[in-house]
Amino acid sequence: MVEKINSFIHQYNNYNTTIHPVVREQLSPKSINYTSNNNVNNSIPFGQTTPNTEIRTQLSGKEEKKKYTDITSQLDKNSRKVLETLLKNGILLNNKSGDNSTVLDNLHKIITEPRAQGLDNIGILKDTIATIAYPYLITQQFGNIPENYKQAAIQANGQGNPNDINVKQSGTCVAASTEFKLAKQMPAEFARFAQELSSPKLSVQKNIKLENLADNTLNGVWLLNAFDIPFEMKDYSNASLSFAPDKNAIVRAQIQTVDKDPYERTPLDVLMQSTFMQIGSQQSYNSITDKRAGKFNQNDKGLIEFEKTFTESVVFDKNILSVTYQTVDENARLIGYETDLNTMKKHLTDALNMGENIIIGYTQTDANNIIINGHEITIVGYKQEKDGKLTFICNDTDDDVSKPIEYSEDFLLPKIHHAALPKEVVESDMDIVPNWVEGIAMYKEMKAQSTNNRAVA
């Protein structure tokens, strides 16, 4: 894998030189259910450093030097080269994490402290380094279950259909896109998540500001309770949340530790994606079957737009708005757009120029404009062509291509159903209903329907 990373890094350095100068500094090396598939400095070839934070590229003091030596002693030559590049580019000592720990700090814990049962310290270490160095390696592809693990998987699934353990089409595109964005924009926080989620406790704490969820504390608390997130109030404005993968994720992670094929998820991917699916599905996800329950979605695969926005808001502790661009009637027919495509394009480029990676949901329609499919991908940059039009640079976790892909604006913009954008990017152009308002309305409507159904019965 490391040889592949080094090759990709070389390709990405060359690729990056083609980016429009405006964007180059920002880019570094369902309703609709999205279930069928689901920025910084130009001197940095991959990953992202912290904006407006001093970039450190040299180890300081005996403690950091010892940690670096301890890690490199467990790596082969190629892995050491990738780690050295992370140091030279300021990523290894990046400390934009929930507890101000650096990437180096968390890599050291991974290699020196116990991992959860069935997980390998060196394996998790290499996966974490590789993913931070080149997030395009992240995939949502489930692996097959070997014969010696099938009985354990069936038992973990309880009374469910034994055939459900053979997942052919993953519904974790939202979770995989969230994992990608975390690795690319916040490498230190990604490393902290990797360390904590693969530890024996199989969980990670996240401190958030409730104002990033709702207009006041009570509504923020309502959202946390609605999503069944374990939390503790730190004061009136802040809360400490507990994130964890579902109980069956460890079985999948153990399988991928010993039986991972090319283009399948790593054990780390399993734990990350399960955790984000748990957050969005109200703690109802099952890694064995890739199915979920929960109160907001009647479909048993994937996450809906409301759930996706909540997940992204708490993981990144940001006031994220899900901007719906497509107008869809009750028959799932695409009938128009909430704004013109130029305004949509402005929203996307403004966010990219701020250093944001944008998770979008796009749709596919039939000849009658009926939406037949949806998927989540991440826009990471753009470049301007000779004709003045833009080409958007994207990442797709379900295309078996471990590198950026490009879509012209004429192709991509009409297909965008929604985009997760910072509030300040869109508030002057569109009247967006906040996520928590939609959630409360949706909950009340579903509760009323449930009450009516019981009364009829």
pLDDT band at 454 (very low <50, low <70, confident <90, very high): low
Question: What average pLDDT does the segment 403-423 reach?
Answer: 95
Strands of 371-384's sheet in order across? 320-324, 416-422, 358-365, 371-384, 390-395, 405-408
Q: Is residue 137 part of a domain?
A: no
Answer for the pair 247, 142: CB distance below 8 angstroms, yes or no: no
Place of tokens 């969820």: 213
Residue 148's CB: how many other CB atoms inside 10 A?
Answer: 10
Residue 353 lies in a domain: yes
Count of domains forming the chain: 1
pLDDT at 142 over 70: yes
Query: Residue 32 carries which DSSP code?
Result: -
**Residue 273 falls within a domain, yes or no?**
no
Is the per-residue pLDDT at 385 higher than 60? yes
Position 46 in a domain: no
pLDDT tens, position by position, 286-304: 999 999 999 888 889 999 8
Q: Could you tell me if residue 398 is inside a domain?
A: yes
Lowest mean pLDDT among 195-199, 310-314, 426-430, 431-435: 431-435
Q: How high is the pLDDT of residue 13?
A: 40
Supply the pLDDT for residue 456: 61
Per-residue pLDDT band at 234 (split at 50, 70, 90): very high
Report the 10 Å Cβ neighbour count for 262.
10
User: Does residue 423 sit within a domain?
Assistant: yes
Domain that holds residue 415: 320-456
Query: Does residue 430 belong to any structural domain of this protein?
Result: yes
Residue 358 lies in a domain: yes
Q: Which of 95, 94, 71, 100 is nearest to 83 (CA)?
A: 71
- The predicted model gives 204-209 an average pLDDT of 98
